[in-house]
Amino acid sequence: MKIGFVGLGDMGQAIVPRLIAAGHTVVGWNRTKEKAAPMFKLGMLWAETPREAAQEAEIVFSIVTDSAAVRSVALGPTGIISGLRKGAVYLDMSTIDPDVSRAVAAEFAEAGLSMMDAPISGTTLTLSQNRASLMVAGDKAIFERVLPVLLAIGPKATYIGAQGLAVQLKVALNMTLVIEVIGFCEGIALAEKGGVPREVAVDAFLKSVVASPVLTYRAPLILEGRISDATYGNVNLQQKDMLLALDLGRKMGVPVPLGAAANEMLNACRGLGLDHHDFVTVYEVYRRLGGMSR
């Protein structure tokens, strides 16, 4: 197929090579063309606008930072909606406010066009290991039609239900992930302050019943000298998702006390100037609060 791809950040640059390797022609757009340079070497074509990326495509993907960015690339003056052909489909993979996703989809529907929310669960690492999964919501018949392309991105693609439910589920999933990682950091800090060497505690946790895929690749980052500016998801990015979860809980009247507590630890990371690190740097906050020095 001919595929348009809007948003060539870290995740976009991990997804596009998989689509090209599967034999698809990809026309990409990014706010800064320089960041897309590695994709040109793989054969990706360039579009000057999101509209241009959509014009000849059968499927258009977008994966951008937040709700405002989705509105811009989808509905702006040179947005996807102005280039998408009848019969083609737009799939947004971004983690955004579910109500915004539904509102954007409604504008596409009013124009006689199809949009689905299709967030991806994973990181650049899990994508490279072929372990990422996609959640998709909207028209089920369209889901069945685009499924082969989705499976080129990750080995699991699940139909969730009505428009907006996939991104709503992704927000809930990301909240749970942050709570899990912060709980791990709290436990390791407690063990280390009590006299257990950090590397011993991490090894024991990863061999215990609490081990999980996310801890497997993030836990080593808390070992001495391992936290760097290279991240799977920095503090600011993860907090964006936590705020979405807290707002969703407020709107629906669902208590999310663990989410609120985890978000406060991300606030502490930002206050200490650690927000450019992977959010597992919350471990450093626990160390400082617990009176442990490096």
Q: What are 152-208's pLDDT values in tens digits?
A: 999 999 999 999 999 999 999 999 999 999 999 999 999 999 999 999 999 999 999
Exposed/middle/buried for residue 13 (C-beta within 10 Å: 0-12, 13-18, 19+): buried
Q: At residue 250, what is the residue type? A: R
7-11, 74-78, 183-187, 229-233: lowest mean pLDDT where? 229-233
According to CATH, what is the number of the domain 169-289?
1.10.1040.10
* pLDDT tens-digit map of 38-93: 999 999 999 999 999 999 999 999 999 999 999 999 999 999 999 999 999 999 99
Q: What CA–CA distance (Å, rounded) separates 277 from 268?
A: 13
What confidence score (pLDDT) does residue 231 get? 72
Q: Is residue 54 a contact partner of residue 43, using CB atoms and an 8 Å limit?
A: no
Q: Which candidate, 189, 94, 100, places its Cα nearest to that of 135?
A: 94
CATH hierarchy code of domain 2-161 = 3.40.50.720
pLDDT band at 232 (very low <50, low <70, confident <90, very high): confident
Give helix 257-271 / helix 165-193 axis angle, nearest 10°: 70
Question: Which 3-state string (H, E, C) describes 53-108?
Answer: HHHCCCEEEECCCCHHHHHHHHHCCCCHHHCCCCCCEEEECCCCCHHHHHHHHHHH
Domain regions of the chain by residue span: 2-161, 169-289
Residue 230, pLDDT above cutoff 70? no
**pLDDT confidence tier of residue 233, bands split at 50, 70 and 90:** confident
CA 162 to chain centre: 20
User: Is residue 225 scored above 80 in pLDDT?
Assistant: no
Residue 248 has pLDDT above 80, yes or no: yes
Position 294 pLDDT exceeds 60: no
The structure's pTM equals: 0.94
pLDDT digits (tens, 9 = 90+) for 116-154: 999 999 899 899 999 999 999 999 999 999 999 999 999
Residue 279's pLDDT is 94
- What is the predicted pLDDT for the residue at 229? 62
Size of the chain, expressed as the number of residues it contains: 294
